[in-house]
Structure 1
Amino acid sequence: MTAIDITASGASGASGTIVVTGGARGIGRAICRALAGAGYAVAINYAHSAAQADELARTIRAAGGRAAAIRADIGDPAQIPGLFAAAEAELGPLAGLVNNAGILGDRLRIDEQTPAGLAALLAVNVTGSILAAGEAVRRLSTRHGGTGGAIVNISSVAARLGGLAGLVPYAATKGAIETFTKGLAAEVAREGVRVNAVAPGLTATDMVSPEMTQYAAGDGVPMGRVGTPDEIAAAVLYLLSPAASYVTGASLTVSGGR
């Protein structure tokens, strides 16, 4: 695990609070650590992983950073406003959002999918991300009295490749996120809010099965391996940073060439 380097924050000029949905585990956890290392205050959102979220917040604070673990289910629209209110109350004004929370859904052929399963998938991956972005825009946009900021949506190369067998609905949700990113970026571009996406390929998290890892090591990924959460986090950090000040409506693919 990469160490958190709080001393790097002075060079980056990072400040403000970033909400990371689904921040307790996997890619979200790596993103939280990278943001804390760059000097941001991090609101670590979680739905079920309370122990992991609390441990991560303690680790960041012990290294000299600022973090708070905040429970909210992104699949429940009623809980999303409270997440942002709690983040600002605990850590200060919002500077950005990382829409990372997502689920794979049921790994089934399309003719075996159920309405309930699809509704749960869409609630988290699409509706939740859109509503969270809306809460961020209300706080960041100069139209609402904000000072600007950035939103990064976590997409997937599955949006362009159609997804692995049994994960076609998941790929469709990520296609929606790609379209949403471009549309929202144009909508708020003159209000000081940049909106971009990162599209990971196969990444070493608990969502990736041994079968997927073997696929990557074979002919599935040109680089012959799965990515690491830290590699995805580095791309997110760039898009949130002043170094990407003229980047909006983009989707940065981090997939080992897949």
Structure 2
Amino acid sequence: MGGLCLITGASSGIGAAVARMAAARGYDVAIIYHSNRAGAEAVAADVRAAGQTALLCPGDVATPEGVAAIFAQIDSHGAPLTALVNNAGVVDLPARVTEMTHARLRRMFDINVIGAILVAKEAVLRMQDRGGAIVNISSAAARLGSGGQYVDYAASKAAIDIFTKGLSDEVAASGIRVNAIRPGLIDTEIHAKGGLPDRAQKLAHMVPMKRTGTAEEVAEAVLWLMSDAAAYVTGAVLDVSGGR
């Protein structure tokens, strides 16, 4: 497809892998990040080394003002937005539901759900006259529930699954395809951010394939859903979880 691909949470992990792969396949990339400027700049350097334009966009998807600021930067760039990868998300320290606070839940849903919906809204407004592709990053936790660890995170990702289906139905006639990826145990920094840096490796034995996945393996699935090879695929949720 080519054009401009906007990726939230693109300074590390899956988002960074998608950004690098998108550039290698002919996309210019808008790299959205919250606080990790060094990571975002490293990704931007790789995008430019691939011969594509990199647009660095600091912004907080958890607030309407932050989302507006992101799209103001996109609009000033002038290139048509053809793809969105809704990747920004957070986990928290493991906790039972009886231990969760309103503040924890508010942060989780502001970023993982409300932020993703508001970003998708703005993308649709810019794609509806020419079509495009949206890929939401969900999680296998949406199926597994994550009891005793991250029930709130799992619930936020389940919301993304059904949002994907509903939005896909709304915008299909405008030529916009909306799909989601459910990664499983992927070896990225998100586990350390949740206080369990070795979590993926310790749980790898539960995966039928007996290993963790890589950010690049998730990125391959994202790029396929963005591409014309998936032209008749919308409203789908694809597991990239090693069979778990």
Q: Which stretch of the first structure deviates more once superposed, 20-29 or 50-59?
A: 50-59
Deviations 1:87-124 (A, max 9, x none): 24236110011000000134211000000111000000
Shift of 1:176: 0.1
Does the aligned pair in 1 maintain the 2:96–2:147 contact within 8 Å? no
Q: Which residue of 1 aligns with 2:194?
A: none
Does the aligned pair in 2 maintain the 1:23–1:45 contact within 8 Å? yes
Residue pairs, 1:92-241, within 5 angstroms: 92-141=79-128, 146-163=129-146, 165-208=148-191, 209-216=197-204, 218=205, 220-241=206-227
Work out the CA distance in 1 between the residues paired with 2:149 and 2:136.
23
The amino acid that maps onto 1:184 is L
Shift of 1:222: 0.3
Does the aligned pair in 1 maintain the 2:67–2:118 contact within 8 Å? yes
The amino acid that maps onto 2:94 is R
Residue 27 (structure 1) aligned to one of 8, 14, 19:
14
Shift of 1:82: 2.2
Residue pairs, 1:56-67, within 5 angstroms: 56-67=43-54
Deviations 1:29-88 (A, max 9, x none): 000011101101100000010111012112221231211111001111211122123124
Does the aligned pair in 1 maintain the 2:187–2:200 contact within 8 Å? no
Q: Which residue of 2 aligns with 1:251?
A: 237
TM-score (norm 2): 0.95
Work out the CA distance in 2 between the residues paired with 1:105 and 1:62.
35
Work out the CA distance in 1 between the residues paired with 2:83 and 2:168.
14
Work out the CA distance in 2 between the residues paired with 1:183 and 1:115.
27
Shift of 1:164: 5.2
Ranges in structure 2 where 5+ consecutive residues have no aligned partner:
192-196
The amino acid that maps onto 1:232 is V
Q: Which residue of 1 aligns with 2:69?
A: 82
Work out the CA distance in 1 between the residues paired with 2:179 and 2:91.
21
The amino acid that maps onto 2:109 is L
* Distance change in 2, residues 1:66/1:164 (3 Å): farther
Aligned length: 239
Work out the CA distance in 2 between the residues paired with 1:69 and 1:52.
11
SS at match of 1:133: helix
Does the aligned pair in 2 maintain the 1:158–1:174 contact within 8 Å? yes
Sequence identity of aligned pairs in percent? 48
Runs of 4+ in 1 over 3 A off after TM superposition: none
